[in-house]
A and B are shown apart, each in its own frame.
Chain A
Amino acid sequence: MAALCRDCGADPGEGPVCPACGSRRIVRHAELFTLHIAHVDCDAFYASVEKRDRPELAARPVIVGGGVRGVVTAACYVARIYGVRSAMPMFKALQACPDAVVIRPDFSKYVEASHQVRALMGRLTPLVQPLSIDEAVLDLAGTAALHGAPPAVVLARFAREVEAQVGVTVSIGLARNRLMAKIAAGRDKPRGFCVIGAEAREILAPEPVRLLPGVGPKLANRLQAQGITRLAHLQGLDEREARRRLGDDGPALVRRARGEDDRRVNPERETKSISAETTFDVDLSRAEELERPLWRLAEKLAGRLKKEDFCAGGVVLKLKTSAFAIRTRAQRLASPTRLPDLLFEAARGLLARETDGTAYRLIGIGAAPLLPGHLADQPDLADPEAPRRVAAQAAIDALRSKFGAAVIGKGRGLK
């Protein structure tokens, strides 16, 4: 069976220890040298970057997150032993792990590290599709001649380069398609290298349905109601049955449960959503109190849409109650926009229906669907005031680009 020493790249033969370097980090798989779709995930990325910069914290539990009321953005593997998870409220995390060192996130540092990692990926193949700041999928098909080695060998070398040059570790999944590569990358974290080939279906069978990306708690509950808890249950459904029991998306779900996925690696990553949110220092429940931060977020969202040349075909309002229940409410817009006023008005309409006395700890506003920028704020025959609003916003933008964001604003943004 094909084998590879992850520490020196040599062929370790049959034994448990690499004869060339003495390492035990050996990966073996029948398809090791033919698979070429790889998923790369940086391990506890933000926390790892912080530990890299403060080596004295290496053995301590580190949590990256912010504010009195913030949430855990990232937790190192030491903190995870105590049960700390990302997106957990900070107070809970500190209950679980009182000794944790809490570090405010410094995104500029993470972005820089991410760029370094991405630059190293770029040397492996042009087909790199970043999925987030610390995750990407790569297609190394046909690169063996260039590198003089099969993808697995090149990837193991890449993992060593990232450790040496960026100072963080990565986990790699190598498989026949994107779905299985992602699942593989998650199976051997941290510093992992997991290969899944023909046995994908077998591996998935005993797993809970939640393992599949895209199966969240709601869908899982729906499936459970039908007696479907393990992927094996889905694997056995034929197309017609899948459609009948699970609706139009059923057959696609069954294909994924079998480990099938025909998505290509597309280096032109599409931005799927743009949003802005904020957590309050104290819970808010009154419409007037919530509208002030909402307006500022609408302005922020409008700025991001403009910067990335998109516009909003609809607005999504996100609220988190003091009991941590998340409410999202969405509305299509009559015509696509990136004017803060119109984004705010739509979100305010959605908010009005949710201000029923519930106390909220977080509010957010997002653009969905995201549409190309040239569709924004087309002239509207039913709105004779529209050209003036567009002109006013252009004037505000011009002043801000010259004198800074604080130079001018609407009264409703003031505290």
Chain B
Amino acid sequence: MKFKADRATLLKALAHVQSVVEKRNTIPILANVMITVRDGKLTLTATDMEIAVVEDVAASTTRNGACTAPAATLYEIVRKLPEGAEVELDHPGGDAQLALRSGRYATSLVALPTEDFPSMTAGTLPNRFALPAQALRGLIDRTRFAISTEETRYYLNGIYLHAADSDGVRVLRAVATDGHRLARVEEPLPEGAGSMPGVIVPRKTVNELRKLLDEVTGDVDIALSDTRIQFKVGTITLTSKLIDGTFPEYERVIPRDNDKVLRVGKKDFSDAVARVAAISSERSRPVKLSLARDLLVLSAASAEQGSATEELDADRVKYDSSPLEIGFQARYLNDITDQIAEQVEFRFADGAAPTVVQDAADSSALYVLMPMRV
């Protein structure tokens, strides 16, 4: 295997694949990236056995072949080469080392045989559809903060992606919850997704995919079975196992009859929450919302440090139901308002019941938040 590529192209591709590689690996070859030149085309592959990323990279190739080399080391070396440099990688085959040359720099890396490199087969992926990258970004950004990290309920450690009916309209839905908050985001159902099974996409896959989406504008091709999902983003193919579990019947916990509506500017609200919560150093800083007609008082207290309040009045708040007091974790409020553009709409039932939060101008995302007893 032998090819030349420019540093920037190679660095970008290595950045993609090396972030999949587990940093602390007990199986040495899993720390490696597989470099393949076949039919004159260069491909990089990395896997942690749960996720595999395969990327086609532009290069001028002179000899077919393949080897594997430590991903992090290779990435570090290429990163340190001068900008605009051309990099040559050369592996004669067998047990030989991988030679990397650039200008007057030369290095040899221990390579491991490709036969030992685990292949993650996707199997057949009967459900195929395409989704604009921007829509996929929207699904991920507005749900992933609610993914649970709790290991016992492993089926909450990802985004539940499925086809659903939303008031008679067929939609593609992404849902995540950690039990304290729930995020449900919808996109119009893409053609071909109607018969897809509901799948739970693991958190790491979501995060790796999201990094890849930063640079693209077109469609992402998605293919899935009930155990695997594959995303084609430009020249990159990300294949992942799915979480084998049953996502809870989340619709049952979404309140339908919350009729006390508060509307408040996103910035006014989140700034006030941040200021009030600053009094407490607790991780689960509770913030109390006290509501009266067109008045919202935010308050927080800490046994060690004192208390703080801030009022938002009729200029900035619309509320015309009966007075209400309710507490939430500051961080949870901010995670949700971060996803909202201008006006936040809260729909309360009472001080102890789940509260619905939405962007007043966009009903595609719905959040449910459990109050804290304060």
A380→B182 CA distance, assembly (Å): 10
In the complex, the answer to whether A384 meets B252 with C-beta atoms within 8 Å is yes
Q: How far is the CA of A375 from the CA of B282 in the complex (A)?
A: 15
Question: Are A334 and B150 interface neighbours, CB within 8 A?
Answer: yes
Task: Assess whether B152 is in contact with A382, with CB atoms less than 8 Å apart.
Answer: no
Tell me if B370 is interfacial: C-beta within 8 Å of chain A.
yes
Contacts of B178 in A (CB 8 A): 381-382
A379 part of interface (Cβ distance < 8 Å): yes
Q: How far is the CA of A374 from the CA of B368 in the complex (A)?
A: 21
**A335 contacts B by Cβ under 8 Å:** yes
Tell me the minimal C-beta distance from A339 to chain B in angstroms: 15
Complex CA distance for A378 and B181, rounded to whole angstroms: 12
Chain A residues lying within 8 Å of B152, measured Cβ to Cβ, are: 334
The answer to whether the Cβ of B373 comes within 8 Å of any Cβ in the partner chain is yes
A334-B373 CB under 8 A given contacts A381-B250, A381-B354, A382-B156: no
Whether A383 is near chain B, meaning CB under 8 Å from some CB there, is yes
Given A381-B253, A383-B179, residue A334 in contact with residue B370 (CB < 8 A): no
**Is A382 a contact of B354 with CB atoms below 8 Å?**
no
Contact with A along B201-233 (1 / 0, CB 8 A): 000000000000000000000000000000000
CB-CB under 8 A from B148, the residues of chain A are 382
Q: For the complex, give the distance between the alpha carbons of A257 and B215 in Å.
A: 61
Q: Which residues of the other chain, A, contact B249 by a CB distance below 8 angstroms?
A: 384
A384 interface neighbour in B180, B253, B372, Cβ under 8 Å: B253
Determine how close the nearest CB of chain A comes to the CB of B148; give it in whole angstroms: 7
Does chain A have a CB within 8 A of B12? no
What 1/0 flags go to A113-126 for Cβ under 8 Å of B?
Answer: 00000000000000
Could you count the A-B residue pairs with CB atoms below 8 Å apart for me: how many are there?
A: 43
Q: How far is the CA of A335 from the CA of B253 in the complex (A)?
A: 17
The CA of A384 and the CA of B182, in the complex, are separated in Å by 12
Q: Which residues of B contact A374 (CB under 8 A)?
A: 373
User: B150 contacts A381, CB within 8 Å?
Assistant: no
**Interface readout for A327-340 with B: 1 if CB under 8 Å, 0 if not?**
00000001100000
Instruction: Give bound CA distance, A335 to B178, whole Å.
Output: 10
CB neighbours (8 Å) of B47 from chain A are none
Known: A334-B150, A334-B152, A374-B373. A382 touches B252 (CB 8 A): no
> Chain B's nearest CB lies how many Å from the CB of A285?
26
Residue of A nearest to B178 (CB): A382
Determine if B153 is an interface residue (Cβ-Cβ < 8 Å). Answer: yes
Q: Is residue B177 contacting chain A, with contact meaning CB distance below 8 A?
A: yes
Check if B354 sits within 8 Å of A334, measured CB to CB: no
Q: How far is the CA of A374 from the CA of B180 in the complex (A)?
A: 16
Give chain B residues whose Cβ lies under 8 Å from the Cβ of A379: 353-354, 370
- A369-390 to B contact mask, C-beta < 8 Å, 1/0: 0000011001111111000000
Distance to closest chain A CB from B149 (angstroms): 10
A346's nearest neighbour on chain B, judged by CB, is B152
Q: Is B126 an interface residue (CB 8 A)?
A: no
**Contact: B373 with A381, CB < 8 Å?**
no
Contact check, B248 vs A334: say whether CB atoms are below 8 A apart: no
On whether the beta carbons of B370 and A381 are closer than 8 Å, the reply is: yes
Given A334-B179, A335-B179, check contact A382 B153 (CB 8 Å).
yes
- How many angstroms from the CA of A300 to the CA of B370 in the assembled complex? 29
Residue picked from A335, A374, A381, A383, most chain B C-beta under 10 Å: A381
Interface bits B173-212 vs A (CB < 8 Å: 1, else 0): 0000111111000000000000000000000000000000
With a cutoff of 8 Å between Cβ atoms, the chain B residues found around residue A382 in the complex are 148, 153, 156, 177-179, 182, 248, 250, 253
Residue positions of B touching A, CB distance < 8 A: 148, 150, 152-153, 156, 177-182, 248-250, 252-253, 353-354, 368, 370, 372-373
The 6 closest A-B pairs by CB, nearest first: A382-B179, A384-B252, A380-B179, A381-B182, A334-B150, A381-B253
Supply 24 A–B pairs (Cβ within 8 Å), ascending by A.
A334-B150, A334-B152, A334-B153, A334-B179, A375-B373, A378-B370, A379-B353, A379-B370, A380-B179, A380-B370, A381-B177, A381-B178, A381-B180, A381-B253, A381-B354, A382-B156, A382-B177, A382-B179, A382-B182, A382-B248, A382-B253, A383-B179, A384-B248, A384-B250
Give the B-binding residues of A (Cβ under 8 A).
334-335, 374-375, 378-384
